[in-house]
Amino acid sequence: MRLLFLGDVVGRAGRDAVSERLPGLVERYRFDFVVVNGENASHGRGLTEQHFLEIREAGADVVTLGDHAFDQRDTLSYIAREPTLLRPINFAPGTPGRGANLYESRAGHRVLVINAQGRVFMNPVDDPFRAVEAAVAACPLSEQADAILLDFHTEATSEIQAMGHFLDGKVTLVVGTHTHIPTADHRILKGGTALMADAGMCGDFDSVIGVDVEEPLNRFLTGIANGRFTPAEGEATLCGVAVDTDPATGLARKLAPLRVGGSLSQALPDFG
């Protein structure tokens, strides 16, 4: 099975890049299942229902969120009826929506997707390690799931790497989101779990992590807010990671970063 994960979609530039490029990537590489983090897709903060549907129509089977999950008011009303939209599993009990769900891929495989938020340099949430552990135990790899993918939304790469080792041999992919910068540490751990500390963003990199340069630079120089952050609207780079799984175990067999369009160096999977 071939899985594709795309990092944080930021603003209009990111949404347009997903709509324009994702369908062709799915066709070219025959991806069976696609997960996209959409927590910054609407004006850089949160995800409206309209933009959620745009990402789904482009080819995303599941859309994940993060610390900005409920920055758009209508998310509170539509997340409960959208099983393909996930918010972090370790949010407080009673939070609308779900943090994990089992899906069927294009080829009929069972894919468990989990969304979690870290605690290092982030707003307070429940323990992500125990929450994810419980979700995996309830739907084990190669028993009830043919693949398990975790989007771990957090600031610290150390926390993401620790989660990868914690789950090594139990899940297919642990991938980080939130920092918007793609890391070069993609690898398959000893137990067969693929790990990448941050998938990067789908957004305009002629920016400060997807935001027009002027206001963040002003705040660094003066410490004073002079306006709102505005998503940059130049040509976006589509950033993510692709995984080819072992059909016998559901663990990773091949792993490759993906960067398409925009100003970053390009990278495409070579899965043969």
List of residues 6+ apart from 263 with CB closer than 8 A? 205, 206, 235, 237
Question: Which two three-digit tokens encode residue 30?
Answer: 């025959």
User: Among 43, 51, 68, 178, which one carries the catalytic annotation?
Assistant: 68
8 A C-beta contact, residue 232 and residue 203: yes
The residue among 45, 99, 93 whose CA lies nearest residue 72 is 45
Question: Which two three-digit tokens encode residue 38?
Answer: 């959409």
Report which residue type is found at 143: E
Is residue 109 among the annotated active site residues?
no
Q: How far apart are CA 62 and CA 270, in angstroms?
A: 24
Length of the chain: 272
Q: How far apart are CA 257 and CA 266, in angstroms?
A: 10
Phi, psi of 151 (to 5 degrees): -95, 105
The alpha carbon torsion through 27, 232, 241, 120 (nearest 10 deg) reads -150
8 A C-beta contact, residue 165 and residue 144: no
Describe the chain by its helix, strand, coil percentages, rounded to 5: 25, 30, 45
- Which residues are tagged catalytic? 68
